């Protein structure tokens, strides 16, 4: 029986709040996903966006386009000490990256924090971050790929919304000459940060599974999400709309990561599943063909469940990577002729 229906049946048969509290005490989840999200204040002209590098390094000249565009939106920019810093592939040492992000989490003047780029490194510092001041005065944390660590950690512990979107290294040098889809995705960051209700559509796919869902939106990069299993940043998918994206992996590796989510019951009680871009999949070695597509892998893992599933949603390591508000209630509609995700 579906967990939600089971809990409803308990209430209907006269087993009320004390019994539900007992169930929670013994580890059976309750409907916590229905709680109102904690939304950081939306930005207004003059607000400060901080730029930091908790993962890979980025040069100062590589963030200039992002600075120009965000300043044209009316925001002020504060550049962190890790921008331009480098320790091999990282944006500075672990200590430097920790201190820079901590400073921005603590600074009440900073209303949003944008990661300079992805790469790898946030998992090395997340357990040492102190979120007390961030909890007291939440702010938008912005990024994708490796920033999935922050989205999952913040959602799990604090229930505070964050923004899964492009980062500084994805802003075009000349916005006026950028492709329309690039302009649209960059502007979706501005729209999300200033409080616009977000709504996106995706083309139908004959592999989609139809249905309607409502739940808190969560997700991000598949390899990051599966690497967080059994850690203090483990994703909570219970009753939620989960979105996944990935890039540059072998087919067998994708199947292994999806299998980890299935075996750890992260796919059991979703409200809905969104598959974004799974791009630049590496070719199998000759004679070692895996023989399954992404469609095959996903549908195999969710065959025992009835929630809606859509493929090729515009999120991921690609041009059409739109801003998504993690931790906020959304509705998902998957029909024969359209897919709609609406805040």
What confidence tens digit (pLDDT) does each residue in 48-80 have? 999 999 999 999 999 999 999 999 999 999 999
- Is residue 145 annotated as part of the catalytic site, yes or no? yes
Ordered domains of the chain (ranges, CATH): 48-194 (3.40.50.10740), 199-321+328-342 (3.50.30.60)
Indicate yes or no: pTM above 0.95: no
Residue among 33, 96, 145, 164 flagged as catalytic: 145
Alpha-carbon distances of 231 from 28, 223, 226, rounded to whole Å: 19, 14, 10
Q: How many Å apart are CA 78 and CA 71, to the nearest integer? A: 11
Query: Which tops the pLDDT comparison, 87 or 24?
Result: 87
Tokens of 225: 């999400």
Confidence of residue 36 (pLDDT cuts 50, 70, 90): confident
The model's confidence at residue 24, banded by pLDDT at 50, 70 and 90, is very low
pLDDT band at 13 (very low <50, low <70, confident <90, very high): very low
CA-CA-CA-CA torsion sign (150, 155, 159, 161) = positive
> Once rounded to an integer, what is the mean pLDDT over residues 194-200?
98
Q: What are phi and psi of 67, to 5 degrees?
A: -60, -45
Token pair 């616009």 in the structure block, residue: 196
Q: Is 245 a catalytic residue?
A: yes
**Closest to 163 (Cα-Cα) out of 311, 28, 322:** 322
Nearest to 207 by CA among 299, 130, 123, 291: 299
Active-site position among 96, 245, 246, 249: 245
Which residue of the set 155, 317, 330, 333 is catalytic? 317
pLDDT value at position 314?
98
The question of whether 317 is a catalytic residue gets the answer yes
Give the C-alpha separation, 249 to 317, whole Å.
12
Over residues 264-278, the mean pLDDT reads: 98
- Residue tagged 């921008």 (tokens): 83
CA dist list (Å): 59 to 79, 92, 189, 192: 11, 11, 22, 26
Tens digits of residue pLDDT in 131-163: 999 999 999 999 999 999 999 999 999 999 999
Q: How far apart are CA 201 and CA 341, in angstroms?
A: 6
The Cα 294–Cα 131 span in angstroms is: 37
* pLDDT of 34: 55
* % of the chain exceeding 70 in pLDDT: 90
């Amino acid at each position: 029986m579906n967990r939600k229906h089971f809990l409803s049946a308990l209430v209907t048969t006269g087993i009320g709040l004390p019994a539900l509290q007992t169930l929670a005490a013994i580890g059976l989840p309750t409907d916590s996903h229905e709680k109102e999200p904690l939304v950081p204040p939306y930005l207004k002209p003059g607000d400060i966006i901080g730029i930091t590098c908790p993962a890979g390094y980025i040069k100062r000249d590589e963030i200039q386009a992002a600075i120009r565009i965000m300043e044209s939106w009316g925001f002020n920019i504060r550049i962190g000490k890790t921008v331009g810093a480098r320790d091999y592939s990282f944006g500075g040492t672990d200590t430097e990256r920790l201190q820079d992000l901590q400073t921005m989490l603590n600074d009440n003047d900073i209303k949003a924090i944008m990661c300079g780029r992805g790469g790898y490194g946030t998992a090395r510092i997340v357990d040492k971050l102190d979120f007390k001041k961030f909890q007291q005065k939440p702010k938008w944390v912005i990024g994708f790929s490796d920033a999935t660590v922050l989205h999952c950690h913040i959602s799990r512990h604090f229930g505070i919304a964050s923004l899964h979107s492009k980062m500084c290294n994805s802003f075009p040098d000349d916005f006026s000459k950028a492709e329309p889809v690039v302009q649209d995705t960059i502007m979706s960051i501005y729209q999300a940060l200033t409080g616009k209700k977000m709504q996106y559509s995706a083309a139908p796919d004959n592999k989609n599974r139809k249905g309607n869902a409502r739940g808190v939106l969560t997700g991000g990069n598949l390899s990051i999400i599966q690497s967080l299993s059994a850690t203090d940043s483990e994703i909570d998918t219970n009753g939620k709309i989960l979105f996944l994206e990935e890039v540059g992996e072998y087919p067998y590796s994708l199947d292994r990561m999806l299998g980890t989510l299935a075996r750890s019951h992260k796919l059991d009680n979703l409200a809905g599943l969104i598959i974004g871009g799974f791009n630049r999949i590496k070719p199998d070695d000759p004679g070692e063909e895996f023989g399954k597509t992404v469609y095959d892998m996903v549908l195999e893992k969710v065959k025992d469940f009835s929630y809606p599933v859509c493929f090729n949603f515009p999120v991921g390591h690609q041009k059409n990577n739109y801003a998504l508000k993690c931790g906020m209630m959304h509705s998902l509609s998957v029909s024969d002729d359209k897919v709609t995700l609406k805040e």
